Structures are given as structure tokens and as C-alpha cells.
Amino acid sequence: MVGEVAAGTPADGPRPIQIWRPRKVDGGLVFVRPEPGPFSDHYATRRRISAAKPRGTTRVCLFGESVAAGYLYAPHLTPARVLEAQLCSVAPGKAFEVLDFARTNETLDNLVTTVERALQVDPDLLVLWTGNNWNLLETPECSPYFPSQEGRARYARALRKGGLAEVAEWSARRLLEHASEALEEIMVLVGSRDLPVVVVVPEVNLGDWENRQPTPWLGGQDIVAWHRHHRAGVAALDRRDDGEALEHAEAMLRLDGWSGPAGYRLMSRARARRGDGAGAVLAARAEVDNALYATQALLGSPQAGSMAQALLRTFAERHGLPLVDLPRQFGEYLEGALPDRRVFLDYCHLTYEGMRLAMAGVTAAILQVSASGEATPRWQVLLDQLPEPDVSPPVHATAFLGAALHTAHRMSAVTPSQPLLEYWCERAAAASPDAIGAMRHVLAVRTSELPEFMTRAELDNQSLECPLTPQHGWRYAHGDVALQQAIRTVLARRGVAVEAPPVPPLSDAGLELTDPRHVGNPLDCFYPYLMPESGALRRAYLRFAWPKAHFHFALPGPRPLRLDVTLRAPDTTSAHSLTATLRVNDGAVVALPVDASWSRHTVELAAERLRGGTNHIAVAWPYPDLDGASALHRAIARLERNQDADVHPVFGEVSSLRVSPPR
């Protein structure tokens, strides 16, 4: 007999564990989840968990975020499955069961609740793997854009008290308080049962992933100098002049008070090419540590910084908990080199090799806990003995292609991202022939003006053995032009002909290029205006935090066009119009007068300036002429009036950029 426990059961009755709901089955308590949909969900796919564990079995519960959930490989390969296979392999006389309670977008409050509810299934040991989400999800009040009225007021007080340095310190204190409280609450929950807890300190991709954030307001006109050093430093790296690149990186950091992630990324790249591995690691960690939610303009990535890592180490030491320190473990495995694409797919999610390596450390820790004084092998010894996870080629290919999609769409690159995009596309194509079809589907979707679900490529993707899903970036509503170029390059190397998709004739209404599909790099826009409607009120225009904005559109062939653009440069106090420049396909420059008010301009484009296929429009903004200190005082005043405010210069705003046939 099967029956679900009523939702209104007493507090001491069975309660849901995440998505798993309690039911009585033949007199026993089980927890059952709904059937996963075609695009999966945030949770492990196991349908049923019995409250009573099998006799003689050591039950391990794994908790954590998307890294612990096996993001991009899940549900086919997950750390929980790897861990269970490793434990059963190295301890053949014992039985282990690993229950997977990791989930994407996990927060600390929800983690505490999940641990509490999971005690209903009588675990013998817990594995706690958290920290990557803390920099983005745990302090929403520490932002000038999204907070409550109280949050805005506190941000203003911190800004008035000590500027952006005080804002950074305030947000760090808030995060430390919240994380410490959550971890201590977990220890109270498990303390009464004397349950061992293995703590995993997360590591992040320091070698490949880049965090390009513009500097907040600086005093006087130092903004101009900072951006010029940034541009010159990238150019120096490109021509392999590492000494000059280091000089520009240091100049940027002196200007922004050694708080800018972009400067540290340039420094890390230059040091690595000079053979200074230790210096490159230090600079890369400083980059992650300074990509702060409280002072960011562009959408960041979940990554555990030094503060989160240190907090977890201190927590484990204080309570005498076994610790799996992935930064140290990966550093030893990689012989001191930057952790990169060998162990990471993107900003923090693990490759097959990285997952196996991380779980070897957890396996060693669990064996040590359950050894009753017996000597146990370290992870280095275990790694040579552990089984290879059984992963089909299409699963690998989909994970690699997902890595390319994430890199194209989520990484705000300081240096050119094209080599990394081509690397992941090449890995996908080499892993499985299915990847060739999947890449064709990505091209078809990204070049279509229709929503993904209305395209034939959507159906074709679903017919693959391991289709791309939203977690892989399948439904990103952007053109990702760099990714399209990488796919075409990789397919051409393999002799795969890719016909350009037919481009429909331009309608009389034309194309609005502020649509995300036509914005060259959406991450150049202020992040609140990329978020869903429920997260913030979206403005009816794009706001750019960098000196250049890029747009792309396709034509079936060269033809004359009319370009109507409505724009402004809001952070200017000049009595005279400044000049923005518009360039089409690297051709002649058109000068557009701009000031703090909206203005509309019409540009007639001759057919010879355009081409069949992809066309590119670049808008170069004038530098803001506001004094940085005055701009921050203006931000304080807005926050005190319960309005969002900018702590970064706004180079330009575009309300409309429309190409249409001449009238």
C-alpha cells in the first residue's frame, strides 16, 4: 500500500527532503521525487530513497552546489556516483551508499534545511561541499542595484564612511557572518547524533577563466588613464611583450588601489608566460578575490575566493573535522601550475579528470573516518587504484560543448577567448561524432530570429543520444558570435562543410539590434539589465560599462541600409556635445554628437559598406568627464533616496539601434 504523508503533518512527522516527498510504502517510509522532465532540474535523478538503509551499509549524504551536483556532466556522471564507485572499489568488504543532495543554485539557508531534513534517512557520514555560490548569492543587500530600502541605506552609509573600500569590507563581514552562522547551525544539527562531517574546500579555475570588471569611479580623470592602460596591456600581451603587459597591469592596479580583477588577470597572464608559476597563481587568486559582488558592474561567475576557502578550513579545524582541501590537492596534482581546463570545464565545474581527482580526496577522508585506527592510503595512492568512471563518448562531448557555450556566454574575457572556445569545440568533436550534429544545431539556433523552441534545431537536438539542455547553455537567448566562429573553424579543420544558414530578406520594419541576439557581448552591459524581470525592473535601454559597444546582424547580401540610433552619454557635465563614433565593418567612421540627453541620429549606409552574412557595428563612447569623487557623492544621494545608483562610470546608453531599408 502506497500513500503520501499529508503536507500538514506534525513537526515531528516526516518532512520533504528538497524535492523528495515522504510516503508510506508497505509500512515503511520512503522519499520519492517526481520524474525528471526532458530538461532535468536542479536535483539528482534518483527516484526513491528509503529512510531505512540496507543492513551493513554505510550511508553517506553529499551536500553542495552545482559543482557537487556534477553540472554539465549530470545526470550521467556526478561526484556522488563517482564517490560511491570509489568507496566500493577500495573497500570491497564493506558496503557504501552515497545519497546525492547536492543541487544547482544552492544557498546557505537552504543547505541548512536540507541537512536537517536529510537526518531522516539515518546517514552515517556527511560530506559538505560548498562555497562557490557565496560570492553571488548570499549578500543580495550588498549592491547598489538590487537591494531593499534598508540595503540601499546601509550601502550609502558604508560608501559615505570609507568609500568603496568600506563597501568591500562591509560586504565581506556580512558574508562571513552569514556563512559562519549557517555552518555552526549544521554542526548543532549533527552534533546530537555524533555524525562525522567531511568538509571539502572548493577550488576554482584560475588558469582559463577570466573576470573582466571595469573599475569603479576613481578620483579626477584617473578613469581615462585606467582604461588606456587596460587597452595597452591587452595589446602588449597579444604581441607577447610580457614586460610591457606587466607594467600596464601594475599601473592599473595602482590607479584602482589594487582592487581590480582585470589588472590582476593581465598580471597573471604575463607572469605565467614568463615562467613565474607561483606569481601567476597569486595574481589569479587576487583576481577572484577582487571580483566582488558589492562593487561589480558586469555579471560575475560563482567562484570561491580565499576568504571562503579560509573560513571552511577554520571551521573544519575548530570542530576537528576531516578536511579535503582541493586547492592544495589540485596544486599538488598539477605540480604547482594554475588549475585550468585539465580539471575545470568553466569557472568552477569539474571535468571528468577533476571530478575523479576530487572524489579521491573525499574517498581517502571517508576511509580515514571509518578505519577505526587502521592505516589508510592517501589520495595520491588511491588515485592509481580507483576505477575509471563509465562515461559514454556522447556524454563527454555534450559536457565539452557545454563548456564552450558557458565560456562564450558567461566569461567576461580580458584576453581573446577564441582559443579556449576552439579548444572545447575540438574536444567535443574528438569525443563523439554526435558533437558535429550538436554544433550544427547550435549554429542554426544562434542564427535564427525565432525562439529556440520554435526551430527545427530544437527537435534535432532532442533526438541526440545526449542532447544539450538549458544547463549546457542551449537556450541562451544571445547570438554568441565568437562561439559561432569557433564552431565553424573547428568543423572546417575536420573537413565538415557548413553552409551558411539562409538569411531572410530584411523586412520593412528592419531589425532592432538592442535585442540580445544582436548584442556582441551582453556582459559589457550592466548586469541588472540582463536579469529576469522578476529580479529587477528592466530599463528600456542598454547601459554600457566599457568604452566600446558591439552589435551584429546578418544580411542575405550587400544592400543600402538606413541606421537609426538613439543614444546618450549620461556621465558628462560638458556644456558642449562630445562625440561617439560609429564604425560599420571596420570601414569609415561616422561621428555622432552626444551629451547627457537622449538624441536620435540617422545614418545612410551605402551597399559597398555592407556584405552578405554577418555585419558588425561598433560604437566607441567618449570618456566620462565627471570627477570620480563627485560621481560617488551623487551615488550616495541616490541610495539615500532609495534609488539604485552607479558606482561605475556609464560610458553610454542605447535606447534603439535599428537597421532598415532606406525610405
Residue pair 149/281 in contact by the 8 Å Cβ criterion? no
Q: What is the DSSP letter of 378?
A: -
Residue 462 pLDDT class (50, 70, 90 cuts): confident
Distant-in-sequence, close-in-space partners of 503: CB < 8 Å, separation ≥ 6: 447, 554, 555, 556, 612, 613
pLDDT at position 517: 87
C-alpha grid cell for residue 362?
Answer: 573525499
pLDDT at position 586: 84
- Across all residues in the chain, what is the average pLDDT? 91
CATH number of the domain located at residue range(s) 222-290 in this protein: 1.25.40.10
Question: Average pLDDT in the 150-167 region?
Answer: 95
Distance of CA 366 to the CA centre of its chain: 30
Distance (Å, rounded) from C-alpha 471 to C-alpha 479?
Answer: 17
Q: Going by DSSP bridges, is the β-strand pair 578-584/613-620 parallel, antiparallel, or unpaired?
A: antiparallel
Residue pair 132/302 in contact by the 8 Å Cβ criterion? yes
> Which of 95-109, 327-341, 415-429, 458-472 has the lowest average pLDDT?
458-472
Place of cell 559536457: 399
Distant-in-sequence, close-in-space partners of 146: CB < 8 Å, separation ≥ 6: 140, 528, 535, 536, 644
Q: How many Cα atoms are found within 13 Å in the side-chain-facing hemisphere of 580?
A: 31
Q: How many residues does the chain have?
A: 663
Q: For 628-661, how does the pLDDT look when each residue is reduced to its tens digit (9 = 90+)? A: 999 999 999 999 999 989 999 999 999 999 999 9
Residue pair 141/150 in contact by the 8 Å Cβ criterion? yes
pLDDT at 8 over 80: no
Q: For 290-308, how does the pLDDT look when each residue is reduced to its tens digit (9 = 90+)? A: 999 999 999 899 999 999 9
pLDDT at position 534: 40
* CATH superfamily, with its number, for domain 2-206+303-385: SGNH hydrolase (3.40.50.1110)
Question: Following DSSP, what letter does each residue of 112-176 receive, concatenated?
Answer: HHHHHHHGGG--SEEEEE--TTHHHHS-TTSSSSS--HHHHHHHHHHHHHHHHHHHHHHHHHHHH
Q: Is 599 exposed, middle or buried (0-12, 13-18, 19+ CB in 10 A)?
A: middle
Distant-in-sequence, close-in-space partners of 633: CB < 8 Å, separation ≥ 6: none
Question: Average pLDDT in the 495-519 region?
Answer: 87
Greater confidence, 503 or 273?
273
- Range with the largest mean pLDDT of 137-146, 337-346, 571-580: 337-346
Question: Average pLDDT in the 167-178 region?
Answer: 96
In the chain, which segments carry CATH 2.60.120?
511-660
Q: For 104-135, how does the pLDDT look when each residue is reduced to its tens digit (9 = 90+)? A: 999 999 999 999 999 999 999 999 999 999 99
Sheet containing 323-325, strands listed edge to edge, beginning at the edge strand earlier in sequence: 95-100, 57-64, 125-129, 197-201, 323-325
pLDDT at position 162: 95
pLDDT at position 531: 61
Beta bridge mates, 566 = 600, 656
Which of 142-177 are b and which e, b meaning 16 or more Cβ less than 10 Å from the residue's Cβ?
Answer: bbbbbbeeebbbbbbbbbeeebbeebbebbbebbee
Question: Average pLDDT in the 180-190 region?
Answer: 97
Q: Going by DSSP bridges, is the β-strand pair 28-32/21-25 parallel, antiparallel, or unpaired?
A: antiparallel
* Cα torsion through 87, 331, 127, 350, rounded to 10: -80
Distance (Å, rounded) from C-alpha 663 to C-alpha 661?
Answer: 6
Backbone angles phi, psi at 344, to 5 degrees: -125, 140
Greater confidence, 280 or 25?
280
- Range with the largest mean pLDDT of 164-178, 447-461, 474-488, 563-577: 164-178
Greater confidence, 93 or 337?
337
Question: Average pLDDT in the 516-530 region?
Answer: 82
Question: Average pLDDT in the 607-616 region?
Answer: 92
pLDDT at position 533: 46
Distance (Å, rounded) from C-alpha 62 to C-alpha 294?
Answer: 30
pLDDT at position 10: 45
Q: For 226-244, how does the pLDDT look when each residue is reduced to its tens digit (9 = 90+)? A: 999 999 999 999 999 999 9
pLDDT at position 451: 66
pLDDT at 497 over 90: no
Distance (Å, rounded) from C-alpha 656 to C-alpha 542?
Answer: 9
In the chain, which segments carry CATH 1.25.40.10?
222-290
Residue type, 421: L
Place of cell 589588472: 263
pLDDT at position 526: 87
Q: What is the CA radius of gyration of the chain?
A: 26
Nearest to 110 by CA among 171, 173, 64: 64
Collapse the DSSP code of 641 into the 3-class scheme (helix H, G, I; strand E, B; otherwise coil) and give the result.
coil
C-alpha grid cell for residue 259?
Answer: 582592487
Question: Average pLDDT in the 530-542 region?
Answer: 60
Out of 1.10.540, 2.60.40, 2.60.120, 3.90.660, the CATH code matching 511-660 is 2.60.120
Distance (Å, rounded) from C-alpha 277 to C-alpha 267?
Answer: 12
Distance (Å, rounded) from C-alpha 538 to C-alpha 533?
Answer: 6
Residue type, 274: R
Distant-in-sequence, close-in-space partners of 67: CB < 8 Å, separation ≥ 6: 79, 129, 132, 202, 348, 349, 350
Is the dihedral angle over the CA atoms 102, 105, 107, 113 positive or is it negative? negative
pLDDT at position 375: 67
> Which of 408-412, 579-583, 592-596 has the lowest average pLDDT?
408-412
Q: What is this structure's pTM?
A: 0.94
Residue pair 501/447 in contact by the 8 Å Cβ criterion? yes
* Peptide linkage before 75 cis (omega within 30 of 0): yes
Give percent helix, percent strand, percent coil of the chain, each to the nearest 5. 40, 15, 40
pLDDT at position 9: 42
pLDDT at 248 over 50: yes
Distance (Å, rounded) from C-alpha 245 to C-alpha 483?
Answer: 27
Question: Following DSSP, what letter does each residue of 12-69 receive, concatenated?
Answer: TS---BTTBEEEEETTEEEEE-PPP-TT--SS----EEESSPPTTEEEEEEEESHHHH
Distance (Å, rounded) from C-alpha 377 to C-alpha 260?
Answer: 42
Residue 524 pLDDT class (50, 70, 90 cuts): confident
Q: For 45-86, how does the pLDDT look when each residue is reduced to its tens digit (9 = 90+)? A: 999 999 999 999 999 999 999 999 999 999 999 999 999 999
Greater confidence, 13 or 23?
23
Residue 373 pLDDT class (50, 70, 90 cuts): low
Residue pair 592/580 in contact by the 8 Å Cβ criterion? yes
C-alpha grid cell for residue 262?
Answer: 582585470
pLDDT at 215 over 80: yes
Residue 374 pLDDT class (50, 70, 90 cuts): low
pLDDT at position 532: 53
What does each C-alpha distance from 66 to 105, 179, 412, 414, 556 come to in angstroms? Answer: 7, 18, 20, 25, 42
Beta bridge mates, 475 = none
Residue 538 pLDDT class (50, 70, 90 cuts): low
C-alpha grid cell for residue 660?
Answer: 532598415
What does each C-alpha distance from 623 to 217, 297, 366 come to in angstroms? Answer: 12, 17, 57
Per residue, the 3-state secondary structure of 300-324, as one string, reads: CCCCCCHHHHHHHHHHHHHHCCCEE
Residue pair 431/396 in contact by the 8 Å Cβ criterion? yes
